[in-house]
Structure 1
């Protein structure tokens, strides 16, 4: 069950771009309606849950016999926090022989943002989705490697001789 919970936590962050600290807003009600109302740092935003994720979470909730409250909780029923998730991810790293120093929950949020940007190329929309008040904060997710930049320049074909 621990591994299933961790898998779903990781997939939820990847599929929604939520912060680890915002997972407590992913509730049974949010799974039902397909949207979570996130209140963080004095701001509110709506996070949408993709259909495939909702189906996985509904199955998990049925197994857990959970009908209300946060989806991801400890054995005592408290919402998971950064330290619970961090510990579980580190244990997963060790079992997969991956260097724990390279794995952070925030990487999953970065993956969401970079993937979204690669499809949409809309920085202000990503800023809204991620809950950033400034697009400058969001820019870190869209910085492309020199190789990507080089290929783009070559594709432009602006040299005619």
Structure 2
């Protein structure tokens, strides 16, 4: 039997529902050679089928399952319990708010002091969990919501080398990329849509997921600029701005041909929401067309580029934090590493 993605009255209960069903599926697939009390295990599985009202109840069952003899279940449960706590602290309201970027943030913040082997276990647990949901959920229209979580670009392993600085484009590369956006050959029906979404991400620094969820009503013209309301992590709203001249032609052309469901600004040719993977692919193609190669050539690199150039031009870390929608200013602080004017002072100390 399949269930809607957001099948309970709130996010906490919904995540607990999916976690409980996933744990049950893992218990029945893991080796049971060491099981000491098969009758008790059957009773515990029945409890998992019924479900729980709190994570505390589930945790007690997991502990007993381990004691009975299925020791490896904690490899899946522990990372997902911590993810449950992490997402609740963010104030998530829907399972659809979860994406690769949010999961990478979780891994970066929660596994920094762990061994590489344990980090790999966290990654595997998360990928397996969302793969299970991909196969077991069903929307009202009969389609399934697909996460497609891969976490290929998560750089948390080999922690001894320290945190990597994000990839970004220098000003000269940005100029080449901007020209390439308008000259790269797309299909006639998708050209203005693709150029519009890439420009909005580059010029505002919003996350790819935030751009994909923009609705028509979120775009408001104010003089010679557009104000865009986006919903960030935890469904927290903020506004960003972009000059009308940058997007006017692409926006007008796209609005004349778009046929999207649920009032989305961007959609595929079936009217459904675009995927983050698709946006990253077209960004990478444009980058390569003008010989720009970075360690990470996806769409999220545009956000790092925006933040880096914003800090270099403004030297205002609060502005960077507010523009990117970071809850903690320490998350924004990494962009100070690219302040060449400040670093040049170190050359004169003697």
Q: TM-score, normalised by structure 1?
A: 0.76
**Equivalent residues of 1:31, 1:58 under 8 A apart:** no
**What's the CA shift for 1:32?**
3.5
Question: CA 1:141–1:3 in 2, change beyond 3 Å: closer, same or farther?
Answer: farther
Q: Which has the larger radius of gyration?
A: 2
Asked if 1:52 corresponds to 2:249, the answer is no
| More RCO (CA 8 Å, sep 6+) | 1
**What's the CA shift for 1:65?**
4.7
The number of residues matched between the two structures is 156
Aligned twin of 1:71: 265
Q: TM-score, normalised by structure 2?
A: 0.39
Aligned twin of 1:130: 324
**Equivalent residues of 1:18, 1:130 under 8 A apart:** yes
Asked if 1:40 corresponds to 2:232, the answer is yes
Aligned twin of 1:9: 197
Q: Which sits farther off after the overlay, 84-93 or 69-78?
A: 84-93
**Equivalent residues of 2:284, 2:299 under 8 A apart:** no
**What's the CA shift for 1:87?**
2.9
**What's the CA shift for 1:103?**
0.6
Question: CA 1:30–1:50 in 2, change beyond 3 Å: closer, same or farther?
Answer: farther
Aligned twin of 2:179: none
Match of 2:211 among 15, 19, 23: 23
Q: Which sits farther off after the overlay, 33-42 or 94-103?
A: 94-103
Distance (whole Å) between structure 2 residues aligned to residue 107 and residue 99 of structure 1: 11
CA RMSD in angstroms comes to 3.0
Distance (whole Å) between structure 2 residues aligned to residue 150 and residue 94 of structure 1: 31
Q: Which residues of structure 2 form unaligned runs of 5+? A: 1-187
**What's the CA shift for 1:19?**
0.1
Question: CA 1:144–1:92 in 2, change beyond 3 Å: closer, same or farther?
Answer: closer
DSSP-derived class of the 1:80 partner: coil
**What's the CA shift for 1:44?**
1.9
Q: Which residues of structure 1 form unaligned runs of 5+? A: none
DSSP-derived class of the 1:76 partner: coil
